[in-house]
Each structure stands twice: as C-alpha cells, then as structure tokens.
Amino acid sequence: MHGIFEVNKNIKFFNTSSGEIFKNSGKKRINENSLKEPNSPYGLAKLNTLLLVKFYRQNFKLKCFSGILFNHESKLRPKKYVIPKIINFVKIGDFSKKLKMGNINIIKDWGWAPEYVEIIYKIMNKNYVDDFIIATGKSIQLKKIIDTIFKTKNLNWKNLVIFNKKLLRPFHTNTVFVNNSKLKNKFNIEPKIFSPEIISRLTN
C-alpha cells in the first residue's frame, strides 16, 4: 500500500480479511465492531492486515477496503475441507469405510465464493471506503449439512459417519452468527445464495 501512496493515491486496494479475527461470541451476532481477539495464527495474520489497511486509509487517505469474509465454498475448494470432504465421500460411494469427522455440532455461516467475489467488485465501485463483513447472515449446523448431502443419495449419515477426536480443532470457534447489516444498509447489497443452494451446486 505504500507503493500506492507513492505512485497514485486514486488506486483502489481490496484486502481479504477473515471472520477468524473475532473473539468467540457464542450466540451473539458478530458485526464489524465486535471484539477482535483471534485464537489462531491465521486469524492473527488476518487481523494484522485489517489494521494495516485501516491505518493507511485513515492516515494517508488511500482508497483501501477490507472485506471480512466468513466461510465460503466453491467447486474449486480442495477436498480436504469439510464440505467437499463430505461430498466426495458420498460421491465415491465406498461405504465399506466410514467418514471420519470431528465436531459436527459446529454452527457456521457458509456462503458462495463466486457471489462473494461479485460483492467485492460492487464494493470496489462505490465511493464509500470502509471495512465490511461479507457473510450470509444465516448460520447452519454442520450436522444438518451432512444430513442434506447424504440425502442426495438417499443415505442415512448416522450409519456412515464416525467421530474421530484427532480431527477436533482445539482453538477453533465452534459457533458463529453474523450480522451483515452494514453491507445491506450502506450499499443495499447482501448474499442471496444460502446453504441448500450451495450444496445443490456442489453436488450437481
């Protein structure tokens, strides 16, 4: 960003931050002003980028934004991540083995990555420069996602999924509810693709 300051202050810059910058808030909805207290190196790095962008915006009047993105899926997501992992297990159909999962009671806000990119583009074309949460505002339990994916093949997940404590993430935020009203109020923009359609797009 210092290069932008030296070359052309009219250049716009977008930083992708993460919902993992926030302190675990339980059932309370997170907004841009919620307490930022990451519990992972990744979250800490993303918080540092958010603060750096804010510093340059406030002190050098640069047109730099941060999008605080919560979980988002696409067909390009590697199979090691939880939703592609579940879909791949069902797709392969080798049920002589069980699907090993950690905590399936986690509650997350899952969105559609291509739609989030469109939202980023819209933000970049506005004159209001700030930091914005990008999330659906509709959280869902992983267990329900598992059930929906297995039902696409008329399967009962309870017979095929087993718990593996090695897959637990001790510093992971298990419950996430998000308030995306700033994005809606400032720009009249909000995601419209939610978990059922995301699963349909990934399984078809």
1: pLDDT strictly greater than 80: no
Position 170 confidence tier, pLDDT thresholds 50, 70, 90? confident
Q: Is residue 4 a part of any domain in this protein?
A: no
> Is residue 33 situated within a structural domain?
yes
Number of domains within the chain = 1
- Residue 31 one-letter amino acid: N
Q: pTM to 2 decimals?
A: 0.95
C-alpha span between 129 and 135 (Å, rounded): 18
Average pLDDT of the chain is: 96
- Within-domain flag for 6: no
Say if 134 falls within a structural domain: yes
What is the extent of the structural domain holding 133? 12-203
Nearest to 113 by CA among 202, 22, 23, 31: 202
**CATH code for the domain in which residue 44 is found:** 3.40.50.720
> What pLDDT, in 10s, does the model give residues 121-156?
999 999 899 999 999 999 999 999 999 999 999 999
pLDDT of residue 95: 95
